[in-house]
Amino acid sequence: MSEQGTPRHVAIIMDGNGRWAQQRGRPRLLGHRAGGKRLRQVVEACPGLGVEYLTVFAFSTENWKRTQIEVAGLMKLFRQHLESEAKGLEEAGVCVRFIGDRVRLEPVLQRLMAELEARTAHNTRLNLTIAINYGGRDEVARATKRLARDVAAGKLSPEEITDETLPRYLDTHVLPDPDLVIRTSGEARISNFLLWQSAYSEYEFVDTLWPDFTPDTFAEILGRFGSRSRRFGAA
Among all residues, which ones are annotated catalytic?
15, 63
Q: Which of 7, 16, 100, 136 binds ligand FPP (CB under 6 A)?
A: 16
Closest to ligand FPP by CB, 77 vs 92, is 77
135 binds ligand FPP, rule: CB under 6 A: no
E-strand ranges in 50-192 read 53-60, 94-99, 126-134, 180-183
Strand partners, 230: 2
Q: Please state, as a whole number, how many other Cβ atoms lie within 10 Å of the Cβ of residue 65.
A: 9
Element (H, E) at 230: strand 229-230
Per CB under 6 A, the list member of 63, 110, 214, 217 interacting with ligand FPP is: 63
CB of 38 to ligand FPP, least distance (A): 7
Asked if residue 221 binds ligand FPP (CB under 6 A), the reply is no
Residue 155, SS3?
A: coil
> Following DSSP, what letter does each residue of 151-210 receive, concatenated?
HHTTSS-GGG--TTTGGGGSTTTTSPPPSEEEE-TT----TTSSTTTTTT-EEEE--S-G
Whole-angstrom distance, CA of residue 13 vs CA of residue 180: 11
Q: How far apart are CA 170 and CA 154, in angstroms?
A: 20
Regarding 36 and contact with ligand FPP (CB under 6 A), the answer is: yes
Region from 12-20, 88-96, 98-106, 144-152 binding ligand FPP, contact rule CB under 6 A: 12-20
In the complex, least distance from residue 55 CB atom to ligand FPP, rounded to whole angstroms: 11
- Closest approach, Cβ 98 to ligand FPP, in A, equals 9
Q: Does 15 bind ligand FPP (CB under 6 A)?
A: yes
Query: Is there binding between residue 39 and ligand FPP (CB under 6 A)?
Result: yes
What does the binding site for ligand FPP look like in residue numbers (CB under 6 A)? 14-19, 32, 35-36, 39, 58-59, 63, 77-78, 81, 130, 185, 210
